[in-house]
Amino acid sequence: MIRHLYDNLMKLAHFPLTGTVLISTIKLNRINRKKMMRRKLVVGNWKMHGSIASNKVLLADVVAGVRNLDAADCVVCVPYPYLCQAQSLLQGTNVAWGAQNMCSTNDGALTGAVSPAMLVDYGCTHVIVGHSERRNLFHETDDTAAARFNAALEAGLVPIFCMGESSEERESDWTEYIVGRQLDSIIRRYGPHVLENAVLAYEPLWAVGSDKPATPQQAQEVHEFIRKRIARCDAQVAAQVRILYGGSVTPANAAQLFAMPDIDGGLIGRASLSAQDFVPICRAASQS
């Protein structure tokens, strides 16, 4: 009931665009037919793991392992205290680095917060925004995630904006409602064009940290939904935006996931903590 009300409201919100919706969808098909190539991207999210000593070994092994991969981009998002270490060990390599969150303002009396400008100071190129662990454990909302998304873009960082439903929401057939609402929190505020400089990540909560990855078909369905929803507003942006899948990605399932037409790489948790796992995932992305 609430979902239908919401969908109708969204249709109304898009009303001025309805003339272009059909045209955009036709254009998306045409652009897809031309097989617009999106470069694959693999992002490691270390979460709250690591130490100066173990990071040194891990980063050296990742750098060596991905040195010859030229068809995919590779990023590691490390805890704040290790940004300086990442900068000194990764500069000049083909591994970029970023953070897992940030504040939406650039300075002020905000104890414990880290600003976008500080991330830029440490050479970050990417920042994760709206991860489910931030939303659920630290009470972050669509509003605050959207504000951080915009602040990241303004600072010249690439936000990796996370979306995903819980297992209860999936069982109630609410996946599209939840993911659509999270995506719309950006598009309604800032327009579709901001996605040109961003990355999206679909991370179903039931697959994160669970050993129960989405099947390639399940993930593809939601990725296709996300791309089509963006295409309702801008087909060109929809065709070019990279949408990563996250949730129990391993070397064993990466290639099948990355082979799906709307999956452009992965956001990797546990498997990014070992070069033995992370490098083959990056290789699978580069070869797909």
Q: Which residues are catalytic?
A: 131, 203
Residue 216 binds ligand 13P (CB under 6 A): no
Minimum Å gap between C-beta 231 and ligand 13P is 25
Residue among 131, 65, 145 at smallest CA distance from 100: 131
Please tell me the distance from the alpha carbon of residue 78 to that of residue 140, in angstroms, as a whole number. 20
Identity of the residue, 20 or 250, whose beta carbon is nearer to ligand 13P in the bound complex = 250
For residue 141, how many other CB atoms are within 10 A of its CB?
Answer: 12
Residue 124 · residue 114 · CB < 8 Å: no
Residue 230 · residue 183 · CB < 8 Å: yes
> Of the ranges 166-174, 184-192, 217-225, 243-251, which one interacts with ligand 13P (CB under 6 A)?
243-251
Residue 150 binds ligand 13P (CB under 6 A): no
Site string for ligand 13P, 106-145 (x = CB under 6 A): -------------------------x--------------
Figure out which of the listed residues 24, 182, 248, 253 binds ligand 13P, where binding follows CB under 6 A: 248
Residue 270 binds ligand 13P (CB under 6 A): yes
For residue 271, how many other CB atoms are within 10 A of its CB?
Answer: 21
Identity of the residue, 76 or 233, whose beta carbon is nearer to ligand 13P in the bound complex = 76
Question: Which parts of 37-66 interact with ligand 13P (CB under 6 A)?
Answer: 45
Figure out which of the listed residues 32, 49, 125, 209 binds ligand 13P, where binding follows CB under 6 A: 209
Residues lying near ligand 13P in the complex (CB under 6 A) are found at 45, 131, 203, 208-209, 246-249, 267-271
